[in-house]
Amino acid sequence: MDEPRDFIASFMDDYFAESEEHLATARQHLLLLEAAMHDDELPTAIVDELFRSFHSLKGISAMVELREAEQLAHEMESCLARIRERRSVLTPPVFETLVSATNVLEQVIVGRREGSAIPSIDQALAQFATVGASSSSRDQPPGTSTVQTHAAHSPIRVTFTPTADLVARGVRVDTIRTRLSDTGHIERVAPRITKDGGITFEFLVTGIPDDTLRSWRDDGVTFEVIEPAAVPRPVEIPATTPGPANYVRVDLGRLDDLMRFVSDLVVSRARLEDTLLRVESYVPAAIWRTLEEHTESIERQLGDLREGVMRVRLVPVSEIFRRMPFVVRDLARDAGKQVQLELVGQSTEIDKFLIERMMDPVLHLVRNAVSHGIESPEERITAGKRPDGTIRLAASTVGESVVIEVSDDGRGIDADAISRRAREAGLDVPHGELHAQALLDVISLPGFSTRDEADRASGRGIGMSVVRDSIQELGGSLSVVTTAGAGTTFRAVLPLTLAITDALIVHVGSRTFAVPQSAIQEVADIDSSAVRAIEHNELVVHRGMPLPVVRLAQLFGIDSLERQRLHVIIVGSGLGAVGILVDRISGQREIVVKALHDPLVTVTGISGASELGDGQLVLILDVAGLTRTLRHRGTAIRAAV
């Protein structure tokens, strides 16, 4: 029996990846379905998509002999098929069953992947049996009458508007429902709020003669026939929904390889250019110009290629966000809270590497918002708020950063309670009132938890300390703003290009630095005699313009021999342009940026460090910071003169 087991094992990774994809699609469409549930027409396209997802899940689960998943997916598929064929009605209980079964299905698959216990699917199956039974009673339409004026299945929209008079006469919505179901077949029913705040009930029925309906007019019943051509109309799915066929799943490792190849190419091109410069004087001018044109177009094309590869790594932040409605829904229901989730900026693009590492931190912040931030409806009403709280999940690109914010309009963080609890737990807490950042420090201490009871959110989640660590490890930062009674906002700022950027590796004396390529306008060679001192500043004339320069050796107090040839790295543009003088440039490469946050090593001109693969760190120049101080110095000097 070992052989087939191995055979299956080799497919498991593919299975998990694929099932995750199908589950993600299913979740997304369940949400669309929920939104469209009360529409007049059955959202066929969504039901179809869900059907396909569960059908595929059933198939692949059967292939890996995950029987529980197969069975569940089968039930869901059948349920959806009944809905699609209008043998069953999509009611809220049916919808709930689909949602909870999706969650169980996910747990089954996760259980298998983690090698942990696979949850029982009996309850989910039983739920299907219940909702299935109630809908199957309508599997057979009642006998059709010959006096119909419409085809048996031409749907009619029947509207019932209850009034006090009608209620007094004993005509309620139940009465009408009974009449309709006795005479014909009710496809769907939904309450509607009218513009003036009243309520009406809309029934979609088939098989009821016009005359019968007309005779109920005095009982508050109106009706209109829906032309067959208009039904069913497929629901338009928002453009963000990934089509099934236009995507390729790529191992991130392969993208990294591609990126490395491109980086190697960039270095090779730089060497080629170097060599070319050395042969310039031996080459006839006309040929030289052609050569130059060629290397320039290679450079341009390389740039495009690099950007293209980078873009492949970018994915919309919705990959994180789309899981959240489920989390919020489940948690809110369990906690007896009412929560609206607002998603903003879902199309904001962020590196795949970051997406994967931000999933858990964001999940944790959202869980915290539900379990600690948002109050119970009663508490909110007492506080004069709407009973339902709002959690806002927003992403945006700000300059070179991606900002992800998780806000709630809940009770805010009680600083006193936090410090008390932290002290009780034996943690080192600064005395006096805690400002927001100190508060974050405290709740991020390992071992800190705000709740005595292991509630569901913190019980299986990760601590705030892990949230902050993971964000910092990505070169980002986390901050919090909280107002008692009004809510809390957690704000994660992440580097746009994740931790990977291209940099020029430069040398000054025995030190090595990396200069982010994105900051560099131009690199030029100059003779040291071209550097002229003007008052306290040094400058060179570059392209006919005076360019202030700074010697990195001097700025950083590094011993370096006076050299004949210097390299000037020009950063900034126009009047803000500054040249940084270095001894040597050894190449260009992709570096993984680790930000330097600690106050001990926060110095002007250094933004971070990168490990070049041999355990050695090089410091990354903060070009913006450097030019800023130079400008200030310049201004100060000008002001003093």
Note whether 428 binds another protein by CB under 8 A.
Answer: yes
Note whether 556 binds another protein by CB under 8 A.
Answer: yes
Q: Which stretch binds another protein (CB under 8 A): 92-100, 267-275, 403-411, 614-622?
A: 614-622
Identify which of 465, 460, 435 has the alpha carbon closest to the alpha carbon of residue 448: 465
* Distance in Å, CB of 450 to another protein, minimum: 16
Q: What is the rounded radius of gyration, in angstroms, for the C-alpha atoms of the chain?
A: 33
242 phi/psi in degrees, rounded to 5: -70, 130
Q: Give the Cα separation of 80 and 131 in Å (integer).
A: 12
Among 599, 639, 640, 641, binds another protein (CB under 8 A): 599
Contact 69, 108 (CB under 8 A): yes
Residue 575, classified by CB atoms within 10 Å of its CB into exposed (0-12), middle (13-18) or buried (19+), is exposed
Note whether 439 binds another protein by CB under 8 A.
Answer: no
Note whether 616 binds another protein by CB under 8 A.
Answer: yes
Q: Give the Cα separation of 232 and 240 in Å (integer).
A: 23
Note whether 226 binds another protein by CB under 8 A.
Answer: no
Nearer to another protein by Cβ, of 469 and 538: the residue is 469
Q: Give the Cα separation of 36 and 324 in Å (integer).
A: 19
Q: Give the Cα separation of 406 and 401 in Å (integer).
A: 16
Among 47, 369, 547, 618, binds another protein (CB under 8 A): 618
Per-residue binder mask for another protein (CB under 8 A), 492-531, x = binder: -------------------x--------------------
Please report where in the chains the tokens 């003093």 appear, as a residue. Answer: 640
Among 237, 291, 558, 577, binds another protein (CB under 8 A): 558
Note whether 600 binds another protein by CB under 8 A.
Answer: yes
Note whether 447 binds another protein by CB under 8 A.
Answer: yes
Nearer to another protein by Cβ, of 166 and 464: the residue is 464
Among 302, 606, 628, 634, binds another protein (CB under 8 A): 606
Note whether 234 binds another protein by CB under 8 A.
Answer: no
Contact 451, 372 (CB under 8 A): yes
Cα 417 to chain centroid, rounded? 32
* Distance in Å, CB of 186 to another protein, minimum: 58
Q: Give the Cα separation of 282 and 262 in Å (integer).
A: 31
Note whether 441 binds another protein by CB under 8 A.
Answer: yes
Give buried/exposed letters for 226-239 (b at 16+ CB in 10 A, else e): beeeebeeebebee
Please report where in the chains the tokens 């089954």 appear, as a residue. Answer: 108
Among 253, 284, 426, 432, binds another protein (CB under 8 A): 426
Per-residue binder mask for another protein (CB under 8 A), 147-176, x = binder: ------------------------------
Among 397, 465, 477, 517, binds another protein (CB under 8 A): 465
* Distance in Å, CB of 494 to another protein, minimum: 17
Nearer to another protein by Cβ, of 253 and 557: the residue is 557
Nearer to another protein by Cβ, of 73 and 569: the residue is 569
Q: Which of residues 125-144 bind another protein (CB under 8 A)?
A: none
Note whether 473 binds another protein by CB under 8 A.
Answer: yes
Listing from the earlier edge strand, what are the strands of the sheet with 532-534?
A: 520-527, 565-571, 578-582, 545-551, 537-542, 532-534
* Distance in Å, CB of 451 to another protein, minimum: 16
Query: Could you write out the DSSP letters of every residue in 535-584?
Result: TTEEEEEETTEEEEEEEHHHHTT------SEEEEEEES-GGG-EEEEESE
Note whether 424 binds another protein by CB under 8 A.
Answer: no
Among 617, 625, 628, 634, binds another protein (CB under 8 A): 617
Identify which of 441, 440, 461 has the alpha carbon closest to the alpha carbon of residue 451: 461
* Distance in Å, CB of 616 to another protein, minimum: 5
Per-residue binder mask for another protein (CB under 8 A), 312-341, x = binder: ------------------------------
Nearer to another protein by Cβ, of 312 and 415: the residue is 415
Note whether 177 binds another protein by CB under 8 A.
Answer: no
Residue 599, classified by CB atoms within 10 Å of its CB into exposed (0-12), middle (13-18) or buried (19+), is exposed
**Run of H or E residues at 506:** strand 500-508
Q: What is the 3-state secondary structure (H, E, C) of 583-603?
A: CEEEEEEEEECEECCCHHHCC
Note whether 601 binds another protein by CB under 8 A.
Answer: yes
Where residue 447 falls (left for φ over 0; alpha for ψ -120 to 50; beta otherwise) is left
Q: Give contact residues for another protein (rule: CB under 8 A).
A: 426, 428, 441, 444-447, 465, 468-469, 473, 511, 555-558, 594, 596, 598-601, 603-606, 608-609, 611, 615-619
